[in-house]
Structure 1
């Protein structure tokens, strides 16, 4: 029994480490995967701001059209900039070698980033870039310290700086803790409008992480109802079989 408990704890250790990592407060993404308009806007932002450097190798354009309520013509005309075949996946022209040369390492594929990091992490990350002259692209990120990518949405959000305050750690040493952001320059959108853009983008990345998830949840309700009904019938059958014994 002890060996089983130890094995379970060891198996859960990576998950616990991931949950505890970073230390930044994560805001609630509050996405709605049933909102096709939000997913359509998210797809537009993804291909315009993300797909230049990041691929989504597991998502096909024709699948996107089907799930998001778009025609293949609409997808071809508005979302396809890196290929001319509707059945292709969301790939990019940049090679891994070029990514390493330009960014230090190839930008990761975003097909399952929402499943790996979580939608709250993505939502908070895209709103947490701040000016930092020490970094190669002039920005840093509260959620992902020393991030290696530029803030591609800066024109929409504007520039902001991070304000830190000194606090005592457990050992009594002074450490800097993030307190809040202060705007430096205005973007094209208000704070509320930018939050909605990030929410739409996060929703789309959650969708491509598991395109079948809405159908899976819908079927799951029927499966649970079936199990509930079957349990009642099985219990009644058990009572019938054992009534003479008891």
Structure 2
């Protein structure tokens, strides 16, 4: 019940995954070839993201690409439809979402691709963002985020991570006429989560890599086809070279 209430709070006008200025981004582990990690990420996505955020460019049956069977998809990952070929939509009507919360939650189909910037890749942004939530009583939702200051969405994974406060120290900025700034120095854990810090980081890495996969499900197939095409051209070039040599050897 608490999770559902928290998810509903996510439908505020300033929603998650919006770009914002914050701390330097951490490098996200690359697990896009790890089928088990992608399957865990898909489970996290359907349980914690798909309640409000759709992925309308993605069909459930594309999860076969990460090693899941139709039965596994239907039994474990489908809550809003009963057809494996259906798009990943949410039951909430867009007009109702605008009326109740002021905005429609953004579609996450290509979120990992759209958040790439000079600060880092889209995967780096998501990985950092989901791991840097902290409690902030001054915010309407009671939550804030180091990667996206004044974020509008509360922490969707707080039950896994637990609740914590961010600790800041005041210091003068020598590059800005000595203006006093608040420097982040660490976290204070308020309540424990169901996961340890290391387990939570692994879970976020799984979710991040699933979002990367979802942005381009055919990526691995494209890479494999690219290798095959390059090998073909290499063999073809060898044959063409030998044929050319055979043709010109008797011509003076």
Could you state the TM-score of these two structures normalised by the residue count of structure 2?
A: 0.79
Matched, 1:113 2:111: yes
Matched, 1:216 2:236: no
Matched, 1:95 2:99: no
Figure out how many residues of one structure are paired with residues of the other and give that number.
Answer: 226
1:4 aligns with none
- Measured after TM superposition, the shift of residue 177 of structure 1 is 3.0
2:11 aligns with none
Residues 53 and 94 in structure 1, CA contact (< 8 A), matched pair in contact too: yes
1:10 aligns with none
From 116, 133, 137, the equivalent of 1:133 is: 137
- Measured after TM superposition, the shift of residue 23 of structure 1 is 4.2
Residues 133 and 139 in structure 1, CA contact (< 8 A), matched pair in contact too: yes
From 193, 196, 199, the equivalent of 1:193 is: 199
Residues 20 and 147 in structure 2, CA contact (< 8 A), matched pair in contact too: no
The alignment yields a C-alpha RMSD, in angstroms, of: 2.7
2:27 aligns with 28
Decide which moves more: 95-104 or 137-146. Answer: 95-104
Segments of 5+ residues of structure 2 without an aligned counterpart are: 1-18, 116-121
Structure 2 counterpart SS, 1:126: helix
- What is the CA–CA distance in structure 2 between the aligned matches of 1:192 and 1:83, rounded to whole Å? 34
- Measured after TM superposition, the shift of residue 94 of structure 1 is 1.5
2:75 aligns with 77
- What is the CA–CA distance in structure 2 between the aligned matches of 1:33 and 1:224, rounded to whole Å? 22
Segments of 5+ residues of structure 1 without an aligned counterpart are: 1-19
**Is the alpha carbon distance of 1:59 and 1:234 closer, same or farther for their aligned partners in structure 2, counting shifts above 3 Å?**
same
From 185, 203, 211, the equivalent of 1:205 is: 211
Residues 22 and 149 in structure 2, CA contact (< 8 A), matched pair in contact too: no
Residues 125 and 143 in structure 1, CA contact (< 8 A), matched pair in contact too: yes
Task: With a CA cutoff of 8 Å and minimum separation of 6, indicate the structure with the bigger relative contact order.
Answer: 2
- What is the CA–CA distance in structure 1 between the aligned matches of 2:247 and 2:185, rounded to whole Å? 67
- The structure 1 segments of at least 4 consecutive aligned residues displaced by more than 3 Å after TM superposition are 100-104, 222-243
Residues 131 and 139 in structure 1, CA contact (< 8 A), matched pair in contact too: yes
Residues 31 and 202 in structure 1, CA contact (< 8 A), matched pair in contact too: no
Residues 157 and 189 in structure 1, CA contact (< 8 A), matched pair in contact too: yes
Q: Which structure shows the higher helix fraction?
A: 1
- What is the CA–CA distance in structure 2 between the aligned matches of 1:125 and 1:187, rounded to whole Å? 18
